[in-house]
């Protein structure tokens, strides 16, 4: 039955492409993930220790998974888990970062600080035994020898070579609020999503801060379109190809260093403005995890989207809606059967895409994947 569904999906996609080409040879379409593998605690017979997925981190051909009840590693169809029984300091793994220099894995443990996983052993850092600002940690990332940590009381930076800790809060950085939700570190800049205080940018060379806020100052509406960051209640930042993608609970923003572009669910392919996380795939494409599915901006220039969601609560499979702006071009059926489309995490592994939800994990198979439009 599985293979029958895949064949039908491929034929359906081919039919769509052919029909559009006949109607207008100039029309190009984005790639659509129609073939998926789904994983839940039930479908894996307990190998996936928990269905509530918080974070995904690709590691070559393997995937690290942070859940509400432990750390998971997926490799070529096999699962390995670390819970408190295996020495994990705390069960809730909400963020994961890989140090490419040392091979160590760093974990954000919600309510219990952070941990370094090295050589099969966990080293636990908390307020009580280190310079960590607060034990309620939401995310962390690596920049050079530094571990940047987003906490509910501000930002901590740990230098792995010197052992020194630095603190950044309202006294050391332009923060109106100190609840730091997310961090994205690159070799040139480090970005922080601060809940209620927009986006903070740390320039590594200049050792200086830049603050991005919503210029109109309105909390309920976006008064002036594309005047700046769409809202100050931010949830994630993703910097790729010198483009900043910023997710908020009121929409998505894109910034190229000069111009801002904002997206709502009433003027774009976003299934909802309530965005938990965003990950840029390029300067032209980003994947937004919303409470009503996955919103993929496939091509910035043409405002082309692919939205993956369950059309109804009792729908067995997710549908992919291809849209230009808010205009629906075509709906494509997929074999994605996760029972929940409350999206929390997304990650890329080569041409494949992984998604984490409130009830399960899935892998979109990127056979013949292509970026942009074709």
Mean of the per-residue pLDDT values for the chain? 93
Taking the C-alpha atoms of residue 362 and residue 260, their distance in angstroms, rounded to an integer, is 32
What's the pLDDT at 223? 64
Intra-chain end-to-end CA distance of the chain, in Å? 30
Q: What is the pLDDT of residues 185-235, one digit of tens each?
A: 999 999 999 999 999 999 999 999 999 999 987 666 666 788 899 999 999
Mean pLDDT over residues 305-314, rounded? 96
Question: Which residues touch 90 (CB under 8 Å, ≥6 apart)?
Answer: 84, 109, 110, 111, 112, 113, 115
Query: In 240-267, which positions are buried (b, 16+ CB within 10 angstroms) versus exposed (e)?
Result: beebbbbbbbbbbbbbeeeebbbbbbee
Please name each of the domains of the chain with its CATH number. Answer: 2-364 (2.130.10.10)
How many CB atoms within 10 Å of residue 350? Answer: 10
pLDDT digits (tens, 9 = 90+) for 241-270: 999 999 999 999 999 999 999 999 999 999
**pLDDT, position 216:** 80
Counting other chains too, the contacts that 129-132 makes at CB distance below 8 Å and 24 or more residues apart are: 130/158, 130/165, 131/156, 131/158, 131/164, 131/165, 131/166, 131/167, 132/156, 132/158, 132/165
| pLDDT above 90: residue 125 | yes
Report residue 314: phi and psi, to 5°: -100, 10
pTM of the model: 0.92
């Amino acid at each position: 039955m599985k293979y029958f569904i895949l064949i039908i999906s491929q034929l359906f996609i081919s039919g769509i492409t052919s029909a559009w080409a006949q109607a207008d040879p100039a029309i190009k379409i984005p790639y659509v993930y129609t073939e998926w593998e789904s994983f839940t605690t039930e479908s894996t017979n307990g190998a996936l220790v928990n269905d509530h997925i918080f974070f995904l981190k690709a590691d070559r051909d393997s995937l690290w998974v942070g859940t509400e009840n432990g750390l998971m590693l997926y490799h070529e169809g096999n699962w390995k888990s670390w819970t408190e029984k295996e020495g994990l300091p705390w069960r809730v793994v909400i963020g994961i970062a890989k140090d490419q220099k040392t091979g160590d894995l760093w974990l954000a443990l919600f309510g219990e600080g952070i941990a370094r996983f090295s050589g099969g052993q966990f080293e636990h850092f908390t307020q009580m035994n280190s310079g960590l600002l607060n034990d309620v940690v939401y995310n962390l990332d690596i920049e050079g020898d530094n571990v940047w940590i987003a906490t509910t009381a501000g930002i901590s930076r740990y230098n792995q070579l010197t052992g020194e800790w630095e603190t950044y809060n309202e006294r050391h950085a332009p923060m109106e609020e100190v609840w730091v939700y997310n961090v994205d570190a690159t070799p040139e800049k480090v970005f922080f999503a601060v809940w209620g205080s927009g986006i903070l940018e740390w320039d590594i060379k200049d050792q200086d801060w830049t603050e991005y806020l919503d210029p109109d100052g309105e909390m309920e509406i976006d008064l002036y379109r594309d005047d700046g960051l769409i809202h100050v209640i931010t949830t994630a930042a993703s910097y790729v190809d010198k483009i900043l993608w910023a997710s908020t609970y009121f929409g998505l923003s894109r910034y190229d260093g000069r111009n801002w572009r904002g997206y709502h669910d009433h003027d774009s392919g976003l299934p909802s403005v309530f965005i938990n996380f965003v990950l840029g795939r390029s300067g032209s494409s980003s994947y937004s995890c919303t409470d009503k599915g996955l919103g993929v901006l496939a091509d910035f220039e043409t405002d082309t989207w692919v939205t993956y969601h369950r059309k109804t609560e009792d729908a067995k499979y997710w549908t992919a809606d291809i849209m230009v702006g808010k205009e629906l071009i075509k709906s494509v059926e997929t074999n994605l059967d996760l029972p929940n489309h409350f999206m929390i995490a997304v990650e890329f592994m080569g041409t494949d895409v992984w998604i984490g939800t409130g009830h399960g994990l899935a892998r979109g198979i990127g056979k013949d994947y292509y970026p942009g439009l074709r």
